[in-house]
């Protein structure tokens, strides 16, 4: 056999050889499994990841040009914002905790844990995990704010976090909450591999890409744009066409090009 051998159940992600043709997918699966064991990721998170992987496979496991443009627009919107927040759920925390911390630093955004299946244990486990990866402050634990129009647990946010944010990055979000956040008048940036999902469809800036690639890409754009004028940043956001980006992603899924 020519393919490099991978341990069926690696105990450590370092055991996955980088030369393996499915390295990124194996790494992702390992992180999600590990997240489940640490009480960070929910069991539903495994299902969500499987759905995402299927879309990533159809997209050719690459960042489309339209997704890169969206990432640049997202970086510009976060730099322009007065109160930007990066929302983190159990999948995001397991897949790219250090990358989320880097992005928050590059854009001066707050980090808030916001869960679909909210329990105090998971909230604490995720906040600890983010702190271990360098986060100095993690919001979400106060839970003294509300997203109107949603049932109780999913609506709970921090008053000085998502509730009062003007721009929110919500990766891998469920459609209902994404819609409700949009209805609060916030500039909503979504990362979702499914261009047909309600979250992607309702976002001001949908990034149809794997979160593993998208978050570092937004950070890289933010660093490039660090010294850009507000007028230049506004021009980037205004010239971004969400409907065209979604069409390009859907065409890539359907045709493989």
The site for ligand PTJ (CB under 6 A) is made up of 42, 44-45, 48-49, 51-52, 55, 89-91, 95, 115-117, 172-174, 191-194, 197, 210-211
Minimum Å distance from CB 231 to ligand PTJ?
Answer: 32
Nearer Cβ to ligand PTJ, position 55 or 240? 55
Q: How many Å is the Cα radius of gyration of the chain? A: 18
Nearer Cβ to ligand PTJ, position 44 or 136? 44
List the one residue out of 34, 28, 67, 35 whose CA is nearest residue 50.
Answer: 28
Minimum Å distance from CB 21 to ligand PTJ?
Answer: 18
- Alpha-carbon span 61 to 254, nearest angstrom: 14
Angle at 224 between CA 219 and CA 226, to 5 degrees: 90
- Alpha-carbon span 29 to 172, nearest angstrom: 16
Long-range contacts of 162-165 (CB under 8 A, 24+ apart): 162/85, 162/87, 162/112, 162/114, 164/83, 165/81, 165/83, 165/84, 165/85, 165/110
Nearer Cβ to ligand PTJ, position 45 or 145? 45
Which residues, listed in sequence order, are joined to residue 205 by a DSSP beta bridge?
A: 189
With CB atoms as reference, the residue minimizing the distance to ligand PTJ is 52
Minimum Å distance from CB 60 to ligand PTJ?
Answer: 14
Nearer Cβ to ligand PTJ, position 50 or 134? 50
Nearer Cβ to ligand PTJ, position 66 or 91? 91
Minimum Å distance from CB 5 to ligand PTJ?
Answer: 25
Tokens representing 34? Answer: 């590990």
Minimum Å distance from CB 80 to ligand PTJ?
Answer: 24
Alpha-carbon distances of 116 from 43, 91, 138, rounded to whole Å = 12, 11, 17
Nearer Cβ to ligand PTJ, position 44 or 226? 44
3-state secondary structure of 108: coil
Minimum Å distance from CB 196 to ligand PTJ?
Answer: 9
């Amino acid at each position: 056999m020519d393919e490099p051998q991978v341990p069926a159940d690696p105990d450590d992600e370092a055991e996955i050889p980088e030369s393996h043709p499915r390295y990124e997918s194996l790494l992702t699966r390992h992180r999600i499994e590990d997240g489940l064991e640490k009480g960070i990721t929910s069991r539903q998170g495994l299902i969500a990841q499987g759905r995402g992987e299927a879309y990533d496979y159809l997209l050719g496991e690459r960042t489309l040009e339209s997704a890169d443009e969206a990432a640049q627009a997202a970086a510009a919107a976060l730099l322009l914002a007065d109160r930007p927040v990066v929302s983190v759920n159990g999948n995001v925390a397991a897949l790219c905790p250090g990358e989320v911390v880097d992005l928050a630093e590059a854009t001066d955004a707050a980090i808030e844990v916001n869960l679909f299946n909210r329990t105090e244990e998971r909230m604490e486990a995720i906040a600890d995990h983010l702190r271990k990866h360098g986060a100095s402050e993690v919001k979400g634990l106060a839970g003294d704010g509300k997203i109107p129009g949603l049932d109780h647990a999913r609506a709970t946010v921090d008053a000085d976090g998502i509730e009062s944010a003007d721009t929110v990055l919500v990766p891998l979000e469920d459609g209902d909450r994404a819609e409700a956040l949009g209805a609060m008048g916030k500039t909503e940036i979504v990362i979702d591999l499914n261009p047909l999902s309600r979250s992607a469809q309702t976002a001001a800036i949908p990034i149809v890409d794997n979160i593993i690639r998208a978050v570092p890409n937004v950070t890289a754009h933010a660093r490039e744009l660090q010294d850009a004028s507000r007028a230049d940043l506004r021009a980037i956001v205004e010239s971004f066409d969400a409907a065209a980006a979604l069409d390009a992603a859907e065409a890539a899924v359907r045709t493989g090009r």
